[in-house]
Chain A
Amino acid sequence: MDKRRKAAEVVAELENGMTIGIGGWGARRKPMALVREILRSPLEDLTLVSYGGPDVGLLCAAGKVRKLVFGFVSLDLIPLDPHFRAARQRGDIEVMEVDEGMLQWGLRAAMYRLPFLPIRAGLACDVERLNPELRTVDSPYDDGERLLAMPALKLDAALVHADQADERGNAQVLGPDPYFDELFCGAAERRYLSCERVVESSEMLEAGCVHSMHLHRALVDAVVEAPYGAHPTSCVPAYGIDLEHLKVYAGAKDEGSWQAYRKNFVDVDDAAYLEAVGGSGRIDSIAAPVF
């Protein structure tokens, strides 16, 4: 089955009020082309589940977010995201703030069709107090240990970005960390993958060993070819985090500068975006970040 689609077609399948999981981690391998497509759409009232980076900040700044399920929001090279902070400090969004490990555990429970998975993280701190919907469960074995029952985080849709994929949705990540993209897809009803290039399956094995084939096609409903589709986040080894652009993004705090940012970098087509951020040569030259 040929699953190739345009970003706008994918986003047109999303609906107001949906719970959407976004793969990647912080400022790393985020499906930003798909996120910008959501910004251009009339979608609203979304619940996001994310290891948050500029995906969360952009969607907050555009007023798309009702609720956020998160452990952190960070631009990595800039510790805090000002747009997410502003939304929180205005009281605009509801949050379910959980430990990073709880988040992937909830996705895993959803993928396995379990109601919850037991975990210690989150107990005996304010994660419990501030999320009264969380329940505990007592071990039925002799130890009797009380554990937190991390509920399944079921997603209506997942958005992830990879280096390469074939038209059936087998996908390859050439960077050093798959993050939790497989779980985001596993937890979701509809799974949308953007990638730098759509290639023949055999080409992927020329680019990297079989261990880099992190998503198989039963986890992917649509494949969107989106070169530089993770920018300004990284998609190493192809390109690193665009710190210069993130500074522009983070600096667009007041209404005027946010509208200017939107006009230059959001309300434009892919070609104009690429030109506005300095062109492919510039992005190709951005080195992988050193942490």
Chain B
Amino acid sequence: MSEQQAYSLAELCIVAAAEAWRNDGEIIASGMGLIPRLGAGLAMLTFNPDLMMTDSESLLLAEPAPVGPRGDYELKVEGWMPFFRVFDTLWSGRRHAMTSPTQIDRFGHCNISFIGDAARPKVQLLGVRGIPGNTINHACSYFVPNHGPRVFVERVDMASGVGYYDTRWQPGVNRDFMDLRRVITNLAVIDFEGPNHCMRLRSLHPGVSVEEVEKLTPFRLARDAEVAQTPIPTAGQLQIISERLDPHNLRAGVFKN
């Protein structure tokens, strides 16, 4: 038995994010945003060394680059991944991306485009980016730092990506490559293994109750009678996070309070 380590919510989420890439093999792990990126890096440095990673620009790296100022650290470049090759790669399915949606519904349709009406949005966001192509071509997961009814919605204002709502699929369209995996939140880990691939509560973070999650989720999450606890970080994982992946402790700024 190892001694229990002190860990933060950010570190718990990094470990939960890493788990999403556990069985992926030789594909590109794209973690967009700090927690997903650190999670992908942790997976690559521990249980899934075959994962591939970029410098978030156009270079393939043999090991994940630390986030923040790099000091003397030199990138371990192993290849070239300009944007045209990103499309080649993702359309061939060799990628698993984790992004943060502004809204997401219980069948996994997410929105990063706008809030309100299409002709004159109340809030214009980024645009759909590559989400339509990602979600219909390869594995996708999500990170939600603020689990609540602003992000989890009955219906997204714009479905930037595909999901498991049958009515959104025309006959003949290939659904075989859609593969929504996990939603990591500040309270829990959710997957799409409920009835008809609806969201299912996969595990609760330590100290979080089912009631708390249900109160902050405006739709019903499927769940088993007993819900597991999200695995807590090991001493080895914490060491890799703090020494190799995030030496400036940028993760301390992810969750307010």
CA distance A70 to B136 in the complex (A): 19
Determine whether the beta carbon of A97 is less than 8 Å from that of B87: no
Determine whether the beta carbon of A91 is less than 8 Å from that of B120: yes
Determine whether the beta carbon of A97 is less than 8 Å from that of B113: yes
Determine whether the beta carbon of B122 is less than 8 Å from that of A89: yes
- Sort chain A's interface into a size bin: 35 or more
CA distance A84 to B123 in the complex (A): 11
Determine whether the beta carbon of A104 is less than 8 Å from that of B84: yes
Residue B173 contacts which of A25, A124, A127, A129 (CB distance < 8 angstroms)?
Answer: A124
Determine whether the beta carbon of B132 is less than 8 Å from that of A121: yes
Interchain nearest-CB distance for B118 vs A (Å)? 5
- Output the residue of A79, A98, A144, A290 with the most chain B CB within 10 A: A290
Interchain nearest-CB distance for B32 vs A (Å)? 10
Task: Say whether B229 faces chain A, with CB atoms less than 8 Å apart.
Answer: no
Segment 159-214 of B: residues with Cβ below 8 Å from A = 159-162, 168-175, 177
Interchain nearest-CB distance for A101 vs B (Å)? 4
Determine whether the beta carbon of A179 is less than 8 Å from that of B57: no
Residue B83 contacts which of A84, A136, A179 (CB distance < 8 angstroms)?
Answer: A179
Determine whether the beta carbon of A291 is less than 8 Å from that of B56: yes
Q: How many A-B residue pairs have CB under 8 A?
A: 140
Task: Say whether A21 faces chain B, with CB atoms less than 8 Å apart.
Answer: no
Cβ of B175: which chain A residues have Cβ within 8 Å of it?
124
CA distance A90 to B70 in the complex (A): 41
Determine whether the beta carbon of A125 is less than 8 Å from that of B132: yes
Task: Say whether A275 faces chain B, with CB atoms less than 8 Å apart.
Answer: no
Determine whether the beta carbon of B168 is less than 8 Å from that of A124: yes
Task: Say whether A284 faces chain B, with CB atoms less than 8 Å apart.
Answer: no
Determine whether the beta carbon of A177 is less than 8 Å from that of B128: no
Determine whether the beta carbon of B168 is less than 8 Å from that of A79: no
| A91-B120, A101-B130, A121-B133 known, 12 other contacts, Cβ within 8 Å | A52-B127, A88-B120, A102-B132, A121-B137, A125-B131, A125-B132, A125-B159, A125-B168, A126-B158, A138-B172, A179-B82, A290-B70
8 closest A-B pairs by beta carbon, nearest first, are: A121-B133, A146-B172, A91-B120, A291-B56, A72-B127, A99-B132, A88-B124, A177-B82
